[in-house]
Structures are given as structure tokens and as C-alpha cells.
Amino acid sequence: MRRGRTPTARAIGAAIWVIAAWVVATGATGCGGLAGRATVVRVGDVAISKTTVDHWIGLIERKGGFTGPRGEPPGGPRQRALALLITSNWLIQEAARQAVPVSERAVQEALLEREGRNGEFSQWRRGVGQTIGDVKFELRAELAAEALRKKLARSAERIAPGEVADFYRAHRSLFGTGVRVTDLIEGQSSPAAAIAAAPRLSTATRFGSQAIREHVKRSGLFLRSPEKVRVVDAIFAARPGVVSRPVLINKSWAVFVVRKVILGKVVPFAKAREAVLVRLSESRQRAIASRFDREYRAYWHAHTRCLGGYVGPGCPQFARPLGPYEDPLSTKIQGILSEPFAH
């Protein structure tokens, strides 16, 4: 929101925008309907026309769009088109606001990678009616989300030496030489697939040819990334012989069972320092990301306006919480900001 504007002024400004949009929408055609160029959604400085929304609705109906890592939001083509247009503009404009704008060169490089060398993507894109501009818009939003995550992760890495020692003293029990002998089935495509694999986790000493056996410790290679920290914590919190709930490992899902517990001693600080850094970094990243996501959503909700009939994820009138596509910065969706972290 612009500095110096009171809540009353903002409310008046919003009302003026709605009235103006209504005038454009109802007066631009002879039959009283929406003209193609009528603004139906405004996100910050970007006006989204009826023509643009209709284009993306048609594209989605032909199975186009949403080709990136954010996946697909729920709902029909209209809601999905609005989700793409609104929340992608959130990301693009927020990256610029945070001084990490996405350059045209970065978008072009991503486009060349997406198009590939064999021409299959280009052929598919033309078949569904997706333009180069459409693809670049999606890529720019993906790159903006990544730029924001990287900026937040960098701020989480600024850890003072005293913080590391303090964290170790407060959580000494996390850094021990104990071992949990664990059988694991991993590489499942979804939590549901991992649950489906769970019946193979019998009470026998081994299960299935897909299983691997790990001697899991709370130090060394098992704690080289925040993701592994979470898995190790889950293993050490599990009851022996009880099949776990699905856990995310290396971008796929897994289930495990602890077969044996071997007690150990606490690792000295000098040897545990790397593991302490990983845990402390994860804790800071979660706190920073959670605070940022709350402020980010609040800011852009306040800077988004939607006409009736064009209400989708991100609009002030939209009641459902934002999902994985609509808010890729949420810690509920991506628990950690960065890839494996080490000092």
C-alpha cells in the first residue's frame, strides 16, 4: 500500500475502481455485456482484461498451461485461470518490490530450456494454442518465486557463532551417537502411494525387495540437509515396530519402520557443530518464511480487486485458503526455503 494513504482513502480508492470498472464493463458494449478489453481484475499496477481471462480459460480447457513445478490448483477452468493470472502477478510484482526482479534474460534462458531440442514441447504448445508470451509469463512467475525463496534463505544463513553454541546447549539431546536400525520403502509418488506400500511393512525382520535398511544416526551424513533432519527426527520419535506415516524424502514419499534401537552418548559440540548449523538454519528459515508469507498474502490481498463473476484465489472476496499452486511460498507447502544447507 502506498505510504501516506489513510484507510478511508484506500477504501474510497477501491470503491472508485469498482465503479469505474463497472462503467467500463457495462457501457463498453451495446448489449450491456463485458467488452473484451474491459478490466475485470486488477493486481497492483497490472490490469487483467476479460479477453486475457477468456484466453486462459480456453487454454486450460485444451489442457494447456500449468506446466511448471507449482502444479495445478483445484476448481474449474475459470477458477484455475484466475488463480494463474492473479497469484502469478503477485509473485512477479513481489519479486520486484523485494529488489529481486526477474530479468528478461533469465526468462529467455528458462524458455530455451523448456522448449528443449527435440521440439516436442513447442509442438504441444502450438497444438493447445499456448503462445510464447503465455509460457514466458508462467516461467517469470516460477523464477520470481525462486528468487524470493533464495533471498529469504540468505537472510536465514546469517547466524552468529554464539547462536550455534546456545542452540547446542539447549538441544543437547538431539546430538547423540545412538542408532536406529530402520527399514524403509521410498520413491513413492504421493502420500497415498506410500500408504498403499505400507501393508508390505510387516512385523518380520525384513519386508519386500523394495526395502532398504539404514542404520540411522543423529550426526554425520544423515543431517546434511534440513529435509534429512526432519526424517531423522521422525525416525527417532517413532515407536519400534510401528509403521510410520508418509514422510517426504528427496522429493518423493516414503514409509519406514524402526527395527532396533541402539543407545549412545551425546556428541561433543566440536563434532556436532555442522549438524547444529543445519538444525538452526532450518528453524530460522521456517520462522522467516512464515512471517514473510503472512505479510505477502496480506499485502497482495489488499492490492487485488476483482469484479463479480471474476472472483478467484487471491481476490479479497475469495473465502478458501490458498493452496500449493496459489501460494508456493507457504511453509505448509514447502517446509524449507533452500536446498541442502551446509557450512
In this structure, are residues 80 and 66 in contact, taking their beta carbons and an 8 Å threshold?
Answer: yes
Tell me which H or E stretch contains 146.
helix 132-156
- Measured CA to CA, the distance from residue 40 to residue 280 in angstroms comes to 45
**What is the CATH T-level fold of the domain 7-156+289-306, as seen in this structure?**
Triger factor/SurA peptide-binding fold (1.10.4030)
Identify the band that residue 286 occupies on the pLDDT scale cut at 50, 70 and 90.
confident
Annotate 152-200 with DSSP letters as a single string: HHHHHT---HHHHHHHHHHTGGGSB--EEEEEEEEEESSHHHHHHHGGG
pLDDT at 8: 53
Burial level of 182, CB count in 10 A (0-12/13-18/19+)?
buried
Query: According to CATH, where is 1.10.4030 located in the chain?
Result: 7-156+289-306
In this structure, are residues 111 and 68 in contact, taking their beta carbons and an 8 Å threshold?
Answer: no
pLDDT at 24: 43
257-271: pLDDT as tens digits: 999 888 888 888 888
Q: Is the pLDDT of residue 288 over 80?
A: yes
Q: 109 vs 21, which has greater pLDDT?
A: 109
pLDDT at 27: 41
Most confident of 99-108, 183-192, 316-325: 99-108
Sheet containing strand 304-306, strands side by side: 46-49, 39-43, 304-306
pLDDT at 219: 64
- Measured CA to CA, the distance from residue 241 to residue 256 in angstroms comes to 9
Q: Is the pLDDT of residue 184 over 90?
A: no
Domain 176-265, CATH among 3.10.50, 2.60.120, 1.20.144, 2.30.42: 3.10.50
| Global model pTM greater than 0.75 | no
100 is written with which cell numbers? 529481486
Backbone angles phi, psi at 226, to 5 degrees: -60, -35
Query: According to CATH, where is 3.10.50 located in the chain?
Result: 176-265
In 3-state terms, what secondary structure has residue 69? Answer: coil
Average pLDDT over residues 202-220: 65
pLDDT at 2: 39
Give Cα 287 distance to the centre of its chain: 15
Identify the band that residue 38 occupies on the pLDDT scale cut at 50, 70 and 90.
very high
Give the largest CA-CA distance in the chain. Answer: 82
Other beta carbons less than 10 A from residue 115's beta carbon: 15
135-152: pLDDT as tens digits: 999 999 999 999 998 898
> Average pLDDT of the chain?
81
Average pLDDT over residues 289-293: 90
Q: Is the pLDDT of residue 107 over 90?
A: yes
Q: CB within 8 A of 72, min separation 6: which ones?
A: 66, 80, 325
